[in-house]
Amino acid sequence: MAKIVGGIATSHTPTISFALDAKKHDDPVWAPIFKGYEPVQDWLAEKKPDVLFYIFNDHMTSFFIDQYPHFALGVGDEFPPADEGGGPRGIPAIKGDPKLAEHIANGLVADEFDISTFQNKGLDHGCFSPLSLLLPDHKDGWPLKLIPFQIGVLQFPAPTMRRCYKIGRAIRRAIQHYPEDIKVAIAGTGGLSHQVHGERCGFNNTEWDMEFMERLEKDPEGLLDMTHAELAELGGLEGAEIVMWMIMRGALSKDVETTHKAYYLPSMCAIANMVLEERSEDKPEESDEAYLARIHRQTAGVEKLDGTYPFTIGRGVQAFRLNNFLHSLVDPEHRKLFLEDEEASFEKAGLTEEERRLVRERDWQGLIHYGVIFFMLEKLGAVVGTSNLHIYAAMRGQTLEDFQKTRNAQIMYSVAGTDEGKTDWDKPAAE
């Protein structure tokens, strides 16, 4: 079973990545930043976690107000640095752990947390600014896998301290019941006190920062009733992102010891970090068998249904490229290229030969077997002028005529809109 090897808390200000990328190591004003992270680097080198479960918030880079989730779990294969306006940083992408992420997602949903999942998104300074200093030896690839967990702290209503602590407990359960012998470290990022907007911009409160770090270790549950307003009063509005440290704390045992703590306030936001080591075991209450049965209870038995393929996170990750290609048909420009020169659109999207064949041959059954979700088939049908009924029949291996005999009424439809010629099957045959 997987083991939690401890927790890290760290600020995630762009100051950190700037210091690193601009090579400010020997500048006396910047040097304390590097010094403060050395013990955390040593701790990671000693513990050698296979996976870092990494709690952070995006800063309206890859997550925007057009769709803003509270809890978004990164389930992808790989996460590149995001472009925050001046081009992405010159650091490599980091590998994810889709299998563990799917297990955690199943656990969280079974524990009644309505999470969302993401892949194919860049991670901004909320993730990579401290990560590049926590793991400075990353030029040729990162030494561990990352499961990013993005928390929607920038738009109210935002998740509460209590909710964050509770989801941390649920993450702990999931990891402890993961049936692979791997080591997992938990990192919570954000804070400490700062405010970057409005006339109160520049607010800091070192006294509160110290108190928070102390209580996070010794009495996290005593902080859980604090409101966002109370956190903002003490630590600035953006400083309230320390709720993410509470997720990390919830994922550790009740008894922890701070084995390293650093704090430096050069400009707008304190650059702080902590290493927390577990001092009690807090074994799970359920057996591994009971936990796994519980988190898979909703889909248990579905495998007995012939011709049924639940669209799981695993399928979504494995067949992302092809699903994404077909989903992009909602973009008029991509659709135009696909209709004018299908092969060029395959090439542009980097599809494999098998993926190209499935689309080229409109192999509706094969697409489903490959891991494409039905609603992409429906879109492809609308683009090429095929009705839903044609697709249903083909998936069953029947002619349209035979399939229609199984329906009460022989009607045809599709999701095609106003594009010319896309619903020709609905026109009476020419005389």
Complex with Fe ion: residue 209 or 241, whichever CB lies closer: 241
Instruction: Determine the 3-state secondary structure of 151 from DSSP.
Output: strand
Complex with Fe ion: residue 245 or 325, whichever CB lies closer: 245
Strand residues in 190-343 grouped as ranges (E): 256-264, 271-278
Candidate list 103, 125, 334, 390, residue with the active-site label:
125
Closest listed residue to residue 367, CA positions, set 412, 322, 324: 322
Cα gap 97→79, rounded to integer Å: 11
Complex with Fe ion: residue 118 or 425, whichever CB lies closer: 118
What is the nearest approach in angstroms of Fe ion to the Cβ of residue 226? Answer: 18
What is the nearest approach in angstroms of Fe ion to the Cβ of residue 132? Answer: 16
Closest listed residue to residue 172, CA positions, set 111, 214, 240, 123: 111
Catalytic residue status for 194: yes
Mapping DSSP onto H, E and C, the string for 254-285 reads CCEEEEEEEEECCCCCCEEEEEEEECCCCCCC
What is the nearest approach in angstroms of Fe ion to the Cβ of residue 100? Answer: 25
Counting residues that bind Fe ion (by CB under 5 A) gives 1
Catalytic residue status for 296: no
- In sequence order, the β-bridge partners of residue 150 are 56, 72
Q: Per-residue string for binding with Fe ion, 28-67, x by CB under 5 A?
A: ----------------------------------------
Q: By CB under 5 A, which span of 21-29, 33-41, 99-107, 233-241 interacts with Fe ion?
A: 233-241
Number of Cα atoms under 13 Å in the Cβ half of residue 272:
27
Complex with Fe ion: residue 6 or 188, whichever CB lies closer: 188
Site for Fe ion in 234-253 (CB under 5 A): 241
Determine the number of helices (DSSP H) and then strands (DSSP E) in the chain: 18, 10
- In sequence order, the β-bridge partners of residue 4 are 184
Tokens of 291: 């936990």
Candidate list 59, 177, 194, 390, residue with the active-site label:
194
What is the nearest approach in angstroms of Fe ion to the Cβ of residue 194? Answer: 9
What is the nearest approach in angstroms of Fe ion to the Cβ of residue 191? Answer: 8
How many angstroms separate the Cα of 288 from the Cα of each of 1, 2, 91, 183, 291? 9, 11, 38, 17, 5
Complex with Fe ion: residue 146 or 244, whichever CB lies closer: 244
What is the nearest approach in angstroms of Fe ion to the Cβ of residue 207? Answer: 21
Complex with Fe ion: residue 105 or 231, whichever CB lies closer: 231
* Strand pairing class (256-264; 271-278): antiparallel
Active-site residue set: 125, 194
Residues that bind Fe ion in the complex, under the rule CB under 5 A: 241
